[in-house]
Structure 1
Amino acid sequence: MNLHLQYISKLDTRSRSLGTKLEISITGSKSETNRLLLLQALYPTISLENASNSDDSEVMEKALQKLKTENCQLPTEIDVHHAGTAMRFLTAYFAIQEGKEVVLTGSSRMKERPIKILVDALQQLGAEISYQEKEGFPPMKIIGKKVNKSKVSLPANVSSQYISALLLIAPKLENGLELTLEGEITSLPYINMTIELLNNIGVETSFEENIIKVNPLVTLSTVEGQNITIESDWSSASYWFSIVALSEIGTKITLSSYKKNSLQGDSVLVEIYKNFGVETVFNDDNSITISKINYNIKRQSRSFGTLFLNLQSSPDIAQTIAVTCFGLGIGCHLTGLHTLKIKETDRLEALKNELTKLGVTISVTNDSLTLESSEKINENCVIKTYQDHRMAMAFAPLALRVPIIIENAEVVSKSYPTFWDDLKSIGFTIQKE
């Protein structure tokens, strides 16, 4: 295996019946972990348990630590590689670190991902940020300073991470923050997650109509000695929902640790996968058991149905759902997906390319995906991952139907490093080349 790490994993199973008692432990939510890591950097007395072991969270933690310990000549260069969340959150964090200078950069793909909306908002507040290469894109030079202004507005139909980045630093601003969101809000659950985490450490907030207000955190006693246990990642759970959906009736998998009243938008999986005959039971030990209890209702009709879903509040599970529908021979029309164009890759075009290889007719627009029903799946297709962890994991469950090949399978470390080992533990056969 060379340094390019371009090994290939062949996934196959001897039987679609995975057994009836399988248990998988999934580490903390990447979304919650990265938010809490930033809050911990602002308020060091906070301690965290069940933090994500994803590459993105490790990058975030190392970047925050590097700024504390770096003694070399300014500015300090920090490379977040492919970690989009870290890029957005750290841009805001470094902007208020008085006396610190940082050049924040990333991979070649990261340099193609826009950040102008967030930078414009921070500059409205008084931040000092300049682009080092292409206007509106990383890398950026950030000179940390005291920010006194408190009112800012930005479009609401963009990545919620821009909004969360501003909200997370708001308690440290002298006058807090009044953030006006213009237009229809995208990924509302992720904004609500950020607000709830702020509330949990004692920050006073309000969210009325399209205006979010965050008060400065004056009384630090609310955060002293706080020990926060992070809920496991629902996005990572989505692949197990897909596996159960593609399995025979009677298959059960138990996942830990999950809350019925989750802050994570992707917990909508519980309702969505009822369409595929998957039942979810919340257990007393904070685990969930997902079971295949019947064939999906859509397939019971003589003519294959089409599943219609608006995923504006949970776009990260679109790839998983599209592949599940394909594997079950149902069509789907998924909307609310415009943010997928600026992820690790253009996820809509990537889905179109790879699902077409497998033999299905699919069309995409700037914010939607339409998949026609098909019972045919081409075998031994090579699935490109486009440096996108979710492409690799979303397609893996299809191995329950046909042998497939996942290129650059190591990309899963971005969010779920033990994914392939966990698949092996339930009976998948995986060969590396």
Structure 2
Amino acid sequence: MNLKLPSISKIDNTTLQITGSKSETNRLLILRALYPNITIENVSNSDDSVLMQKALNSNETIVDIHHAGTAMRFLTAYFAVKEGRETVLTGSKRMQERPIKILVEALRQLGCEITYEKEEGYPPIRIIGKKPNTNKVKLQANVSSQYISALMLIAASLPDGLIITLEGKVTSVPYINMTLNLLKDVGISGTFEENVITIQPNLQALSKNVIVESDWSSASYFYSIAALSDNADITIGSFKEESYQGDSSLIEIYKHLGIQTTFKNHTITLKNTKSTTCKLPEVLDLSNSPDIAQTIVVTCFGLGIGCYLTGLHTLKIKETDRLEALKTEIEKMGGQVVITQDTLRLMPANSIKKDISIATYNDHRMAMAFAPLALRTSLYVEDANVVSKSYPDFWADLNRLGIQTTS
């Protein structure tokens, strides 16, 4: 489905409820599979979380997780220690291009049996579930934190827990801390000191109820709308002031773009104060929150200002190469972007072309990041249903703000 977004001058201020965090939900779903007495509230309705639940409930040998990268990583570790279970874990064409070798090698260090069905280092993989023969593992730290979290989530179910030594500079630290905090929420002990993560074994039944915070990555698009709309006063829930999610850094980042965030009764209200000259720091390091890079770049493009973002190396192995995709689509709209392996520089733009069709590359964040530009120009979004991967209600919520889409 392709959507047209007509240009609008202002939005209708309202209150929105954003679905639970996909990142938190998928971690908790793995923990609930290991400890069935755990209960979860405000579960994400994203495609990724639906696919995760389906996979965990499946008794089939072949488990297809389509585009769900988090599910691929977490389920690889889960099935690897599921004694007596043989699983072929596969996914979409793009998923079969996304690397899994670092996690597979880490699991092999533990004595797990995993082989590649096609290309070495990539899904699909065949997993023979086994009990690990050691509780120590080493892996590179400067890759996707999902590899690390996958090991952390299964750790307490192992007889001796797990000691994970990270080699090199650790990236996406907030996601590792999120996993550690969620483990503690359900009653599992663990520490993350220097480059060593230690998770204590817990072979007892755990009975905990956990409420999932709403998704800060999804909230980012409303920060962008607020920044591009002079009259913004948007309330969204449900959020915590002490969030586990690294993308809550939006609060500080968007202060530079004139957005004030106010917490009240587990909601946040975004207001455009118009009290600042819109300008980001000279260098903005997003190594701890790379998923909001697309939102920030498009916001700056819409405001006619430049930005220089670093710490983006993981974006090249997401649903698409997000750096190349951003460069291509922004330049179609009249912008100028320079990228390297882990940086992006956007030049200030004087104008934005209208009625450009934005390709989304099977990437939900491409569709949602560009949608706020309706406050600056008319545009088309291709394959708009891709948003269901993380935020199925996105277009309905935009309509409630007055951004009326037509197919």
Equivalent position SS for 1:172: coil
CA distance in 1, matches of 2:106, 2:64: 22
Residue 302 of structure 1 is matched in structure 2 by: none
Residue 268 of structure 1 is matched in structure 2 by: 249
Residue 6 of structure 2 is matched in structure 1 by: 12
Residue 113 of structure 2 is matched in structure 1 by: 128
CA distance in 1, matches of 2:275, 2:257: 7
What is the CA distance between 1:218 and its match in structure 2? 3.5
CA distance in 2, matches of 1:35, 1:307: 35
CA distance in 1, matches of 2:383, 2:117: 30
- Residues 206-232 of structure 1 show CA distances to partners (whole Å, capped at 9, x for unaligned) of 211101111101443xx22x1111000
- Residues 115-151 of structure 1 show CA distances to partners (whole Å, capped at 9, x for unaligned) of 0000000000010000000000000000111113110
Q: State yes or no: 1:240 paired with 2:222.
A: yes
**What amino acid maps onto 2:324 in structure 1?**
E
Q: State yes or no: 1:426 paired with 2:401.
A: yes
8 Å Cα contact 2:158/2:203 also seen in 1: no
What is the CA distance between 1:277 and its match in structure 2? 0.4
**What amino acid maps onto 2:21 in structure 1?**
S
Give the unaligned 5+ runs of structure 2.
none
Q: State yes or no: 1:327 paired with 2:308.
A: no
Aligned mate of 1:298, from 278, 281, 289: 278
Aligned mate of 1:403, from 378, 392, 404: 378
Q: State yes or no: 1:159 paired with 2:144.
A: yes
What is the CA distance between 1:296 and its match in structure 2? 4.3
**What amino acid maps onto 1:47 in structure 2?**
T
- Residues 92-132 of structure 1 show CA distances to partners (whole Å, capped at 9, x for unaligned) of 00001111100000000000000000000000001000000
TM-score using structure 1 length? 0.92
TM-score using structure 2 length? 0.98
What is the CA distance between 1:400 and its match in structure 2? 0.7
Equivalent position SS for 2:381: strand
8 Å Cα contact 1:132/1:138 also seen in 2: yes
**What amino acid maps onto 2:284 in structure 1?**
L
CA distance in 2, matches of 1:100, 1:143: 6
Residue 3 of structure 1 is matched in structure 2 by: none
Residue 26 of structure 1 is matched in structure 2 by: 18
**What amino acid maps onto 1:253 in structure 2?**
I
Q: State yes or no: 1:286 paired with 2:258.
A: no
Residue 4 of structure 1 is matched in structure 2 by: none
Equivalent position SS for 2:138: strand
8 Å Cα contact 1:307/1:330 also seen in 2: no
CA distance in 2, matches of 1:271, 1:390: 21
Equivalent position SS for 2:58: helix
CA distance in 1, matches of 2:250, 2:330: 22
Aligned mate of 1:228, from 210, 219, 222: 210
Residue 311 of structure 2 is matched in structure 1 by: 336
8 Å Cα contact 2:339/2:345 also seen in 1: yes
**What amino acid maps onto 2:62 in structure 1?**
E
- Residues 258-309 of structure 1 show CA distances to partners (whole Å, capped at 9, x for unaligned) of 00000000000000000110000000x201100001164136xxxxx87521
CA distance in 2, matches of 1:218, 1:8: 50
Residue 360 of structure 1 is matched in structure 2 by: 335
Aligned mate of 1:41, from 28, 33, 48: 33
Q: Given the superposition, is the C-alpha separation of residues 295 and 389 from structure 1 closer, same or farther in structure 2, using an over 3 Å criterion?
A: farther
Q: State yes or no: 1:201 paired with 2:183.
A: no
Greater CA drift, 155-164 or 200-209: 200-209
Give the unaligned 5+ runs of structure 1.
1-6, 71-75, 300-304
Equivalent position SS for 2:50: helix
- Residues 366-407 of structure 1 show CA distances to partners (whole Å, capped at 9, x for unaligned) of 000000011210001110000000000000000111000100
**What amino acid maps onto 1:49 in structure 2?**
E
CA distance in 2, matches of 1:297, 1:353: 28
8 Å Cα contact 2:141/2:166 also seen in 1: yes
CA distance in 2, matches of 1:337, 1:14: 32
Q: State yes or no: 1:254 paired with 2:235.
A: yes
8 Å Cα contact 1:49/1:227 also seen in 2: yes
Equivalent position SS for 1:334: strand
CA distance in 2, matches of 1:78, 1:393: 28
CA distance in 1, matches of 2:391, 2:175: 19
Structure 1 residues 93-132: aligned runs within 5 Å: 93-132=78-117
8 Å Cα contact 1:22/1:426 also seen in 2: yes
Equivalent position SS for 1:324: helix
**What amino acid maps onto 2:29 in structure 1?**
L
**What amino acid maps onto 2:227 in structure 1?**
A
CA distance in 2, matches of 1:426, 1:34: 29
8 Å Cα contact 1:92/1:166 also seen in 2: yes
Q: What RMSD over aligned residues (CA atoms) do the two structures have, in Å?
A: 1.1
